Amino acid sequence: MKVHKAVISSGARFSGPTIHFVDEHYDTGRILAQRVVPVHANDTAEELAARVLNEEHQLYVEAVEAVCEERVVWREDGVPLIQTKENPNEFR
């Protein structure tokens, strides 16, 4: 809850889950996927946490599936792009 409380206290308008590869340090691995969740004006930390968790659950399924199906493409600047199943020229 500390993170969600801090997000609300900061006045941020957006939050969301980040999925990254694990390395030897805490939360420093290469980012694989992120999702944006709006922070509503009257949100409690619990409400925001529930929305972020819902998105996180969906994002994990999509990210793991994309890795297993080799649909992750890395741009030269290191940004990951996940190809859609339907068209390898479209990204999420």
- pLDDT for 13-62, tens place per residue? 999 999 999 989 888 889 999 999 999 999 999 999 999 999 999 999 99
91 domain residue, yes or no: no
| Residue 88 pLDDT grade (very low, low, confident, very high; cuts 50, 70, 90) | confident
Q: Report yes or no on 89 lying in a domain.
A: no
47 belongs to a structural domain? yes
CA atoms within 13 A on the CB side of 35: 16
Q: How far apart are CA 71 and CA 90, in angstroms?
A: 11
Number of structural domains found in the chain: 1
Rounded to whole angstroms, how far apart are CA atoms 39 and 18?
16
Q: Which residues contact 22 (CB under 8 A, 6 or more apart)?
A: 29
Residue span of the structural domain in which 16 resides: 2-82
Backbone φ and ψ of 70, nearest 5°: 55, 45
Is 87 inside any structural domain?
Answer: no
- Local structure of residue 65 (DSSP, 8 states): H
Residue 92 lies in a domain: no
Q: What predicted TM-score, i.e. pTM, was given to this entire model?
A: 0.84
Within a domain: residue 88?
Answer: no
CATH code, domain with 32:
3.40.50.170
